[in-house]
Structure 1
Amino acid sequence: MSWQNESTRKEIETLVARNDEEELERRMRTRIEFAAVDQDSGGEWKPGLCAYVMKNVKDAASRGVVVGHDHRHNSEKWAQLTAAAFVAQGVKVYLHRGNVHTPLVPFSVKAVNAACGVMITASHNPKQDNGYKVYWENAVQIISPHDKGISDSIKANLIPVTWDVDGLQTSPLCVDRTEEMKKAYFQCLNSLCTTRALNSTTPLRFVNTSMHGVSHAFMTEAFKLFDFPLFTPVQEQQTPDPEFPTVKFPNPEEKGALDLAMSTGDRIGANYVLAQDPDSDRFSAAERGPDGKWINFTGDQLGVLFASTVLHKYKAAEKPINKLAMVASTVSSKMVESMAAIEGFKFVECLTGFKFIGNTALNLVEEGYEVPFGYEEAIGYMFGSEIRDKDGVAASMMFAELVASLHREGKTASSHLQELYRRYGYFQTSNSYFICNDPPTIDKIFARIRNYDGEGTSQTPSYPKTIAGLNVTSVRDLTIGYDTTNPPSYKPTLPLSSGHMIQFRAESPDRSTKITLTTRTSGTEPKIKYYLEGSGNDKEQVAKLLPRVVEELASEWMQAKENALGRP
C-alpha cells in the first residue's frame, strides 16, 4: 500500500484505527489524494476503471461487473462506491452482499460472463491496508496492457462521478446473485471431491484458523460437502475482525501466526492445522509429529504434495500424460519441474503472481493441454478449470482429502514428502531479503551484478560465474531481457519485469548439487528479495550448502556491509 505522501498516510491510518468512517468519507470527498493504491493487487480505486472497461470490453454495460468485499475497515463502503460508479454510467453490477472470500469474485465473473470483477481486499496485508483486485473478462487478474490502460484511464478521470450509494438497493442495475453464486461455487468445489465415501470415517482431527478473516463459513460448508467430521475452529480467530487482535501480521506464513492454532491442536489432540489468510485465497498447514512437535509446511512443500496428488489422479483416470500441464511461478520450487521431466507431463513457469499463473493456464488450455493445478510459493494454489486464481478453501479440502488418504495407508503428509524426495530429488529452500531504502543503491547493486568482472557491455552482460564453489550454468535477467539459455537471440521467453529480477542456476563440479537463486526488488517494500533453492540426492550436503550461498550473496554480490543493507 502506498500513499500520495507520508502525512496523508498517517492521517488515514489514524482514521482507520478509530474506525471513523464519517470523517474518513468527508475527507475523501474533498481530497482526492487520499485514494489508496494496492500495487500487488493490480488495481486502483478510482472511477477511471469504468471508463476503460466500457471502452475495451464489448457489451460491457449489459454484461455487467462483479463486485465483492471482505471484512476490512471500509471494505463494504468502498465496494458500494465502486458499484455506484458503474451504475451511474449505466453499467449492470452484480454486488455481492456481505463478506465473501476472494475466489467467489473470479468464479462469478466467469459464471455470469461479466466484463470484469472487483474484489475489495488487502488480502494478508497489515490491518491499516486496503485496496482491490481487478479481474478482466477472462476471470483472471489483469496483466499488460490492461494494467497500464486502467492506470491511464484513472489519471484521465480523477473526479468521482458519484458518492450516492443509497439508491443501490432499489436500482434495477444493481443485482444480488450472492447466494446463487455461492451455491454454484460449492457445486464446483464438490466436483473436486474424490474420496467422499471414505472421508466421514477418517479418525484424523483437524483444527482450522480463519486468521480473523472470512473463511470460517466457507470452510464449514466445505467440510459438510466433503462429508468430513467438522474441524475445530480457533475460536479467538474465528470471527471476522479487521483489527486482527491476535496476530501482528494476518499472514499464515508469518512466524507465530499459527501459534494459537497449534495450541488448540495440542488441547484437542489434532493431527493437522489448516489455515487460510483473511480473504481466504491462500492456504497453509501444519502436522503434529509423533513427538508432539508441529511441522510447518512451506508453500513449496505444499505445492509439491498437491502436484503429486494431481498427477496421481490424472494417471489413475488413464488420461494421456502428454496432455497434462502444470504451472508455477519462476521463484517457486523446481521440484515440480523435476517431477515433470521424470513423469512426462508439461511444466511451465511464469512471472510471480496469479495474474500470470492464471493467464498462462488459459494459454495452455488453448494449446490443447489440461491444466488442473498451478501454484506459487507464497501459499497460493489453483485447482480445476473453473477458477484460474488461488483458492484457500479448495486447497484446504484437497489437503484434507490427501492426508486422510495417506492415513489409510499408514502415512502422513511429511512422510509422503520424504518419499517424493527419494523419487524426484531432495529440494530445500531458503528465502529472505535485504533492506535498502535508497533506490540508487539498489540500482548500483544490480548494475554491478550485470558487470561483475568489469568486462560486460550493454549488449553482453557479464554476470558472476561462481558462487559458494558452484559454477553458474545459466542466467535469466528479466529486467534487461537477457537469457543465456536461449541463443542466438538470448531473449527470454518470459515477459520482462518492471523491477530488477535476475535468476541464476548453478551446480557443483560433479553436478551432484544444484541451486536456483532469484534476486528481485519488491514493488511495495524497500527490499531486495532472494529466493534460494538447493537440490541433490544428499540432504545434508544441500542443507550445508545453502548458508554458504547466502553468505556469499550478502558479502560479495550484494556487498551488504558496504551498501548498509539491513537484514531481517
Structure 2
Amino acid sequence: MQDPLSAVKTAQSESKISSSAADNIRSWLTEDRYADYRSAVVEHIEEERWQKLDDVFWTIIPFGTGGRRGRMYPIGSNAINDRTIGESAQGLANYVVEYAKGRSGLSCAIAYDTRHQSRHFTELCAGIMVAAGFKVYLLDDYRATPQLSFAVRYKNCDCGIMVTASHNPPSDNAVKVYWSSGAQVLPPHDKAIIEKVMSCQEINITPFEQAVADGMIEMVTAEVDEAYFEAVLQQSFAGPRDAKVLYTPLHGVGAAAVLPVLERDGFEHVELYGPHAEKSGDFPNVPGHVSNPENKAVFEKPIEYAKANGLDVVLATDPDCDRLGVAAPLTTDPSGEWGTFNGNQIASILCEYVLSKRAETKSLDDHSYIIKTLVTTELLRRIAEQYNVRCVGNLLVGFKYIAEVMDREGPNGFVFGAEESHGYLVGQYCRDKDAAVACMLMSELVAELKTKKQSLHDFFGDLQRKHGYHKETLINLMMEGSEGMAAMQRLMNAFRHSPPKQLADIPVSTIRDYGDQTTTDVSSGEKQKLEGPHSNLIILDLDEEGNYVAARPSGTEPKIKLYVFTRLSPEDSGDLGVAEQRLAERLAGIETDMRTFAKAHG
C-alpha cells in the first residue's frame, strides 16, 4: 500500500485532490471494511484519475430529506455503490434491532423502480436485512414509492426501503428509508440511523436466493397491489367519468399503479403514451433523459399527440410515481393551445376540488385540516380558510414532515397534503405523496369540468380571482463538486448577515432565519424569536404582503433552491392577463437580482 498512499499524499500536496478526499481514499486503502474495493481504488490511482477520485471521495454521501441519493460509481464514499448502499441497509437494520430491544419477528418491506441497478441494490438490501434477522416482504416487480409506504403499514413492518432516485438523472440511484409508520424516518430515528450507517464496519449478507428458499423473503406484489388499489379508490368522489386521459409514466413504474386505479374508478378513455411506456433507467424519450414532471419539456410531445387525438388532459408521473405533472387545453377545445401547471397550481386545484367535494358531502368538521410546507404556495391556506378548514403550514421541506403532522394531529381529520415539488396525498392509507391518487382526483375534476364546458385553466383562473393572483417560481443555483459545498455555505451566510436591500425594486423588510430561529427587521436590525422548525432555511420577506423568497440547500442535489413567491390582492386580480404580466415581470426582476447577488457572494 505504500506506493498508492505516497501517490495520494503527492496528489494532495499538488492540489490534485482535496484533503478530505485524500483522507477518505486512505481509509479505503487501509481499513479492512473496504478490502473488496481496494484493487479498484489502486487502479484509479495508478491511472492518475485524480479528478474522478476527488469527485467520489471528497465527502461521505449524506442522508438528506429523502435518504441517501447520488451518482452511481463502483467505488467512493461520495457515490452510490454496493458499499454505501450496504452501509445504509446495515445501519438501518442495526438501529431497528437495537430499538426493538430483543423483540422477535422483525420485518421490512422493500420495493424498487426502473433505474439502473435498482434490482441489484434491492437484492443486496434484502440479503442484509435477512442476515440481521428480518423477514422481508418484497414487491417483486417495479412498483411506486407510495406502494412501498402502503406496504410497510399493510404488513405491519418495522421499517421499509425504497430503491429509487425519484426524478434525478439516469446516473443516479438511492435508497429511501421508511419507519414503521410508513413515513420516511424522522427525528430522533434519522440521526440515530445515520450514526449507525457512518460507524458501520461489517456488512453481513444472506444470499438472496437462499433467503427466498428459506422463506425469509416473501413476494407480496399481488397481495399489496389489490389492497393498495382498494385504499386509493376509497378516496374517489362520485361524478362523471367522461374524460379522455393521456397518461405518461416517463419510463418509470407508474403504469402499474395509475392505469388500474383509473380503470377501477370508471374511466374508459385512458391511453398510455407509447414513446414513454418503456420501463427504462435511461429514460430514452424524454428531453435530456430527465424524467421530471416539473420540467415543461417532457410534455411537448405528449401534448402534440393529445391535440391531434382529441384528448382532454395529459398526466405525467416521475419514475417512482410519487409526483404528478399536468397539462391541459387553455379552452375546452383540445385542438387549441395547451399549457402546463406547476406544482403549486396543481396543489391549489386539487385542494379546491377535494374541499369542495367534502363540503358537498358535509364531511368537513372542526377537526378537519390540510397540510403544506413552508415553501408551498399560501394559496392553499386561503382556499382552506374559505371552507373553515385549518391549514398546518409551518413545515420543513420533505413529505415526511407532512406525515408527522398527520399522526400528531390525528389522521381522521386529515383532508389534503401537498408540497410544491408536485407531491400530493389524500387519505390515510400511506404516509408519503402518491401520484396515483392525485391522477385519479385530477381526472375526476377534468370530467366534471367537461360537463360544465369549463377548462382546467379556467377553473384555476377562478381561484386566482377569488383569492388574489399568486405566481411562484423555483430558481436552482447549481454548485457541484468539492468547491460547491463551500460556495453554498458562503451564499447562505450572505443571506443571513448581508442580504440584498431590495428585489425587483421592492424593499426586503424582514429575514426569517430558521437556522437560529430569529426574525430580523432589516430597517431597525431588531430581532425576535421565530416560532417554527429548526433548519438551514432563510426567508426574505418583501415589503408587500405575499411576496417573499425562501432559500435552502437541497437535501438531495448539489444546489441551493430559491423559492420565489409573488401575489396581488383580489382587487388587482380581476384581469388575469394583466395580473399575469405584472407578476411575470416581478419574478423576472427578482430572479435577476438574486442571481447577481449569488454570483457576488457564492
Superposition TM-score tier, normalisation by shorter sequence: 0.7 to 0.9
Q: Which residue of 2 aligns with 1:42?
A: 67
Matched, 1:482 2:522: no
Q: Which residue of 2 aligns with 1:337?
A: 381
Q: Which residue of 2 aligns with 1:252?
A: 293
Q: 1:278 aligns with which of 319, 342, 351?
A: 319
Question: How far, CA to CA, are the matches of 1:402 and 1:29 in structure 2?
Answer: 57
Question: How far, CA to CA, are the matches of 1:150 and 1:236 in structure 2?
Answer: 41
Q: 1:168 aligns with which of 211, 214, 219?
A: 211
Question: How far, CA to CA, are the matches of 2:211 and 2:37 in structure 1?
Answer: 20
SS in structure 2 of the partner of residue 401 of structure 1: helix
Does the CA-based 8 Å contact 1:211-1:237 persist in structure 2? yes
1:261 partner letter: P
Q: 2:564 aligns with which of 519, 532, 536?
A: 532
Q: Which residue of 1 aligns with 2:465?
A: 422
1:41 partner letter: G
Residues 300-359 of structure 1: per-residue CA shift (max 9 Å, x gap): 111001111121122122235432111111111110112233432111121111111111
Q: 2:353 aligns with which of 309, 317, 324?
A: 309
Question: How far, CA to CA, are the matches of 1:61 and 1:176 in structure 2?
Answer: 21
Matched, 1:235 2:274: yes
Question: How far, CA to CA, are the matches of 1:556 and 1:162 in structure 2?
Answer: 49
SS in structure 1 of the partner of residue 454 of structure 2: coil
User: Structure 1 residues 320, 125: CA separation in 2 closer, same or farther (over 3 Å shift)?
Assistant: closer
Q: Which residue of 1 aligns with 2:541?
A: 505
Question: How far, CA to CA, are the matches of 1:195 and 1:59 in structure 2?
Answer: 48
Question: How far, CA to CA, are the matches of 1:131 and 1:434 in structure 2?
Answer: 22
Q: Which residue of 2 aligns with 1:206?
A: 245
Q: 1:268 aligns with which of 309, 318, 323?
A: 309
Residues 165-224 of structure 1: per-residue CA shift (max 9 Å, x gap): 22122122222222111110011012112226x32xx1x321110100111132221122
Any gaps of 5 or more consecutive residues in structure 2?
1-19, 26-34, 42-55, 69-83
Question: How far, CA to CA, are the matches of 1:398 and 1:108 in structure 2?
Answer: 22
Question: How far, CA to CA, are the matches of 2:587 and 2:306 in structure 1?
Answer: 37
User: Structure 1 residues 139, 101: CA separation in 2 closer, same or farther (over 3 Å shift)?
Assistant: same
Question: How far, CA to CA, are the matches of 2:564 and 2:342 in structure 1?
Answer: 13
Does the CA-based 8 Å contact 1:329-1:375 persist in structure 2? yes
Q: 2:530 aligns with which of 471, 492, 497?
A: 492
Does the CA-based 8 Å contact 2:495-2:538 persist in structure 1? no
2:489 partner letter: D
Q: Which residue of 2 aligns with 1:406?
A: 449
Does the CA-based 8 Å contact 1:67-1:93 persist in structure 2? yes
User: Structure 1 residues 60, 392: CA separation in 2 closer, same or farther (over 3 Å shift)?
Assistant: farther
Correspondence 1:92-491 to 2 at 5 A: 92-162=135-205, 164-195=207-238, 198-199=240-241, 202=242, 204-247=243-286, 248=288, 249-289=290-330, 290=333, 292-349=336-393, 350-365=395-410, 370-436=413-479, 437-452=483-498, 466-472=502-508, 474-483=510-519, 490-491=528-529
SS in structure 1 of the partner of residue 430 of structure 2: coil
User: Structure 1 residues 308, 58: CA separation in 2 closer, same or farther (over 3 Å shift)?
Assistant: farther
Question: How far, CA to CA, are the matches of 2:104 and 2:527 in structure 1?
Answer: 44
Question: How far, CA to CA, are the matches of 1:336 and 1:268 in structure 2?
Answer: 34
Q: Percent identity?
A: 27
Residues 229-284 of structure 1: per-residue CA shift (max 9 Å, x gap): 14121111112111111122111112411222112212312111011111111111
After superposing the two structures, state which structure 1 stretch, 333-342 or 119-128, moved more.
333-342
Does the CA-based 8 Å contact 2:181-2:431 persist in structure 1? no
Shift of 1:30: 7.5
Residues 86-137 of structure 1: per-residue CA shift (max 9 Å, x gap): 1112211111211111111110111121100111111111111111111101
Question: How far, CA to CA, are the matches of 1:365 and 1:551 in structure 2?
Answer: 42
SS in structure 2 of the partner of residue 130 of structure 1: strand
RMSD: 3.0
Shift of 1:158: 3.0
Shift of 1:479: 1.7
After superposing the two structures, state which structure 1 stretch, 340-349 or 539-548, moved more.
539-548
Q: Which residue of 1 aligns with 2:29?
A: none
Matched, 1:523 2:555: yes
Shift of 1:157: 2.2
User: Structure 1 residues 239, 446: CA separation in 2 closer, same or farther (over 3 Å shift)?
Assistant: closer
Q: TM-score, normalised by structure 1?
A: 0.84
Shift of 1:364: 1.7
Q: Which residue of 1 aligns with 2:15?
A: none
Question: How far, CA to CA, are the matches of 1:328 and 1:192 in structure 2?
Answer: 19
Q: Which residue of 1 aligns with 2:16?
A: none
1:420 partner letter: L
1:82 partner letter: C
Q: Which residue of 2 aligns with 1:74?
A: 117
Q: Which has the higher helix share?
A: 2
Does the CA-based 8 Å contact 2:353-2:445 persist in structure 1? yes
Any gaps of 5 or more consecutive residues in structure 1?
10-25, 453-462
Shift of 1:391: 0.7
2:548 partner letter: T
SS in structure 2 of the partner of residue 386 of structure 1: coil
User: Structure 1 residues 526, 209: CA separation in 2 closer, same or farther (over 3 Å shift)?
Assistant: same
Question: How far, CA to CA, are the matches of 1:122 and 1:556 in structure 2?
Answer: 29
After superposing the two structures, state which structure 1 stretch, 244-253 or 531-540, moved more.
531-540
Residues 147-177 of structure 1: per-residue CA shift (max 9 Å, x gap): 2211111223232202622212212222222
Question: How far, CA to CA, are the matches of 2:268 and 2:359 in structure 1?
Answer: 29
User: Structure 1 residues 126, 28: CA separation in 2 closer, same or farther (over 3 Å shift)?
Assistant: farther
Q: TM-score, normalised by structure 2?
A: 0.80
Does the CA-based 8 Å contact 2:66-2:398 persist in structure 1? no
Does the CA-based 8 Å contact 1:467-1:549 persist in structure 2? no
Does the CA-based 8 Å contact 1:535-1:542 persist in structure 2? no
SS in structure 1 of the partner of residue 140 of structure 2: coil
User: Structure 1 residues 241, 320: CA separation in 2 closer, same or farther (over 3 Å shift)?
Assistant: closer
Q: Which residue of 1 aligns with 2:48?
A: none
2:341 partner letter: F
SS in structure 2 of the partner of residue 375 of structure 1: strand
User: Structure 1 residues 222, 425: CA separation in 2 closer, same or farther (over 3 Å shift)?
Assistant: same
SS in structure 2 of the partner of residue 87 of structure 1: helix
SS in structure 2 of the partner of residue 105 of structure 1: helix
